Amino acid sequence: MPQPPNIILILADNLGWGELGCYGGGVLRGAPTPRIDRLASEGLRLTNFNLESDCVPTRSALMTGRHPMRTGALQSVPAGLPQGIIPWEVTLAQLISARGYATAIHGKWHLGDREGRLPTDRGFDEWYGIPRTTNESMFTSSPGFDPSIAPMPYVMEGRKGEPARNVAVYDLEMRRKIDSDLVARANEFVGRQAKSGRPFFAYVPITQLHYPTLPHRDFAGKTGAGDFADSLAEMDHRVGEMLDAIDALGIRETTAFIFASDNGPEFRRPWRGTAGPWVGTYHTAMEGGLRAPFIIRWPGKIAAGRVSNEIVHVVDLYATLVRIAGAEVPNDRPIDAVDQLDFFLGRAERSAREGFVFYIKNEMRAVKWRDWKMHFVWEPEPNAGPVKLESPYLFNLIQDPKEETDVLTQYTWVRRPMRKMMLDFEESLRAHPPIPPGAPDGYVPKRSSA
């Protein structure tokens, strides 16, 4: 029986569509990205890979195969309060682990920061990283910070079946260093599993380019274009370190290697990123907030040099990676993920998905279908609204990528397939009521009696 493939998923943080060289950035952003660009040339690069509004909902979608509107993981909340996904959810790591894979996360979790909700409680054998978010590294440098009021941020480490422990204060100096540590530990995990012959799932949610966007000291000043460009150069180097490691171990051919981002670009100054030709940042329903880089390489399985503008959503990785590992998605709950493996492998020319609904928190903001986008709430910049529209705006994203000219009156027919998607999703929410944000660990959803 053939050896099951290994899976490596590197998830960058707030890496906009327009930052990498292979997406039109690179030198234009002050930092060539040769390692990631080469990776793109060796596999499939998507130009229409879509995400949720910010870190928590995107990671929830990835780990549960369900839109965050269902899981209650609508946004991040302060440390110590119930957050993330409840134990009832079945994670990607749990399904892959049940197939005999070694599983590890080295990086940012952001789906629960207490025992019972940490990664090693949710299907991962080992973890090193941060439970919440990178901007907490600014706490200890902030005037008036009091750890008795807001908990001290820590880097944590844990193993399945054991309590996780704090290993280092997550301050600004550690923020500079952490991605180096994450990749080094991920490579050590990969090396152990390769030598043992056990298939593995290495999830590496690195911290760049999330604010504060500060590079490792080894990269500070390297580009001459500032901290942001230096951090982009460092990120490219870290991806290269993982690519070199699997080549040295001789497992390139048996490893599905994915590099993607969790969100559109940062909007805060001075760490502002770019979405290239698209308008907007994360925390908006603009294309700049929805689209982000996605590259997958699997030698001998996925054709090199392929580029596609077909719609894929981050939630689809759940069903796709589960199938790669030889597992099956749960059948006792609504799963929004669609299996994209045949599309990735080139057996299907088109994506298995034509569109999706897009929420921010519990409000439907927009819907995408084929080359069309319809907005119900208008917020081109975070905190610049939002304005509820009396009549929706409709854009053709091929003819009008910057979403400037509403064409609803000319193309009213497009509303029909979009409205059907919306109504189907809303009906599903009525049949399977959403998990409320902040639900306790023991919460079990009930089907509607209606």
Is 110 among the catalytic positions?
Answer: yes
CATH classification (class only), 355-431: alpha beta
**Active-site pick, 67, 106, 110, 313:** 110
Which pair of structure tokens corresponds to residue 423? 């109504």
The residue behind tokens 């150069």 is 233
CATH topology (fold) of 6-345: Alkaline Phosphatase, subunit A (3.40.720)
Say which residues have a Cβ less than 8 Å from residue 312's Cβ, sequence separation at least 6. 46, 48, 49, 50, 294, 340, 343, 351, 353
Give the amino acid at 448.
S
pLDDT in tens, 402-446: 999 999 999 999 999 999 999 999 999 999 999 999 899 999 998
* Span(s) in the chain for CATH 3.40.720.10: 6-345
pLDDT-above-90 percentage for the chain: 93
Burial 248-273 (b: 16+ CB within 10 A, else e): ebebbebbbbbbbbbbbbbbeeebeb
* Span(s) in the chain for CATH 3.30.1120.10: 355-431
Is 22 among the catalytic positions?
Answer: no
DSSP classification of residue 300: T
pLDDT in tens, 153-202: 999 999 999 999 999 999 999 999 999 999 999 999 999 999 999 999 99
Global pTM value: 0.96
Pairing of strands 102-106, 200-204: parallel
Return the pLDDT at 66. 98
Report the mean per-residue pLDDT for the chain. 96
pLDDT band at 287 (very low <50, low <70, confident <90, very high): very high
pLDDT band at 76 (very low <50, low <70, confident <90, very high): confident
Contact 209, 12 (CB under 8 A): yes
**Active-site pick, 55, 67, 313, 375:** 55
CA 177/CA 225 separation, integer angstroms: 20
